């Protein structure tokens, strides 16, 4: 059986089938799935199902990718994500071409990785593969095997117009200047930093052709308390709560009053449980969903503990990382 990992004719067909003109709805399928069959063996794969994407499975291939994705899912202006998106070797339409209700007349095309690499003098760095020529039996063709990006966001700006921002993800900023380990997890004996930097330069120019910013996001740049809080809130953010809007409002009003009086939210939960009004799980869901939806603003740079008073927000996470979500100028 042909390998579902690495560079092969089988993988090439799969990637093009999934990514020839990818949509932004629930039908989107990334180039690489976060499964044992497809994810690199050295990766830590995660599958998240955010309500913001209609609950579709989102495939992430590292802890840093997952943490960065959670930050994007929390952002109120994010309206879409295409993770593990193919960087097309050939010219193709702007990524937002398939976004519903988009004015296509304003969308510049992507010129393709081959065009960009040739302009930058890096054509020799592109990975290639030989495949059978479908038109001539016994002959083969040499094709450029596509690179795969990390996170491509669709964001609604203040004017209501949607734009894209591309994130390329590493654990540390220093990692953008050196190649990753081999597929067996061992370090590479020969470190060609020039080729690594050229790869990033090509990706940046590839998206800039269509007016899209590319940012190098390091997992170490995301505050660890923010990460831990978003991970916990995410577990509850789409949990179904069988309560009326009035009942949810009653719980939240009591939690807000306790917050203002510096009383732990756990005491509110205990009160409702002892009275037989609501379950502890429903109360937790109302609390955490209110924080996730930014209706209850607490400090995400400090641990959220249910048995300790909540800390009022002093630094807005969205404001702190605002530069990561800005449109190209």
Task: Report which DSSP code applies to 158.
Answer: T
Residue 7 phi, psi dihedral angles, 5° rounding: -95, 120
SS (H, E, C) 38-51: CCCCCCCCEEECCH
For helices 265-274 and 245-260, the axis angle rounded to 10 degrees is 130
Give the per-residue pLDDT at 189. 47
Give the per-residue pLDDT at 79. 97
Residue 52 to residues 76, 108, 154, 161, 222, Cα–Cα distance (Å): 9, 26, 12, 18, 21
Task: Report which DSSP code applies to 144.
Answer: E
- The CB-based long-range contact list for 298-302 (8 Å cut-off, 24+ gap) reads 298/259, 300/225, 300/226, 300/229, 300/230, 301/223, 301/225, 301/226, 302/225
Say if residue 95 is exposed, middle or buried (CB neighbours under 10 Å; 0-12, 13-18, 19+).
buried
Which of 110, 147, 195 minimizes the C-alpha distance to 12? Answer: 147
Give the per-residue pLDDT at 83. 98
Q: Are strands 151-156 and 78-83 parallel, antiparallel or unpaired?
A: antiparallel
Give the per-residue pLDDT at 4. 65
Say if residue 56 is exposed, middle or buried (CB neighbours under 10 Å; 0-12, 13-18, 19+).
middle
How far is C-alpha 184 from the geometric centre of its chain's CA atoms?
25
Angle at CA of residue 207, ends 20 and 17, nearest 5°: 10
Contact call for residues 61 and 84 (beta carbons, < 8 A): yes
Residue 133 phi, psi dihedral angles, 5° rounding: -80, 115
> Which tens digits make up the pLDDT trace of 36-84?
999 988 889 999 999 999 999 999 999 999 999 999 999 999 999 999 9
> Which tens digits make up the pLDDT trace of 297-318?
999 999 999 999 999 999 999 9
Kindly give the parts of the chain with pLDDT less than 70.
1-4, 179-192
CA neighbours closer than 13 Å in the CB half-sphere of residue 235:
7
- Classified by CATH at the fold level, domain 9-222 comes out as Trna Endonuclease; Chain: A, domain 1 (3.40.1350)
CA distance 309 to 87: 47
Angle at CA of residue 215, ends 208 and 162, nearest 5°: 60
CA distance 82 to 50: 13
């Amino acid at each position: 059986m042909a390998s579902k990992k690495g560079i092969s004719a089988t993988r090439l067909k799969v990637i093009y089938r999934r990514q020839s003109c990818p949509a932004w709805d629930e039908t989107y399928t990334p180039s690489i799935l976060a499964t044992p069959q497809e994810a690199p063996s050295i990766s830590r794969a995660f599958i998240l199902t955010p309500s913001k994407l209609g609950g579709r499975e989102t495939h992430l291939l590292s802890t840093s990718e997952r943490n960065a994705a959670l930050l994007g899912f929390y952002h109120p202006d994010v309206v879409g994500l295409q993770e593990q998106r193919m960087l097309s070797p050939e010219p193709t339409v702007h990524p937002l071409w398939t976004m519903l209700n988009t004015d296509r007349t304003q969308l510049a095309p992507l010129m393709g990785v081959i065009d960009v690499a040739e302009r930058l003098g890096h054509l020799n760095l592109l990975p290639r593969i030989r495949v059978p020529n479908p038109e001539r039996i016994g002959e083969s063709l040499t094709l450029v095997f596509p690179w795969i990006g990390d996170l491509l966001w669709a964001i609604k700006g203040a004017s209501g117009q949607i734009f894209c921002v591309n994130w390329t993800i590493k654990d540390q900023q220093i990692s953008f200047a050196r190649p990753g380990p081999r597929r067996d997890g061992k370090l590479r004996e020969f470190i060609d930093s020039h080729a690594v930097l050229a790869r990033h330069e090509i990706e940046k120019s590839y998206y800039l052709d269509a007016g899209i910013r590319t940012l190098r996001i390091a997992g170490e740049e995301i505050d660890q308390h923010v990460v831990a809080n978003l991970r916990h809130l995410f577990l509850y953010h789409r949990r179904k709560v069988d309560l009326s809007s009035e009942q949810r409002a009653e719980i939240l009003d009591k939690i807000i009053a306790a917050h203002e009086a510096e009383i732990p939210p756990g005491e509110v939960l205990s009160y409702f449980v002892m009275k037989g009004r609501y379950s502890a799980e429903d109360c937790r869901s109302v609390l955490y969903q209110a924080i996730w939806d930014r209706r209850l603003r607490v400090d995400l740079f400090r641990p959220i503990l249910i048995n300790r008073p909540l800390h009022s927000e002093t630094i807005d996470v969205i404001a702190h990382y605002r530069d990561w979500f800005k449109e190209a100028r």
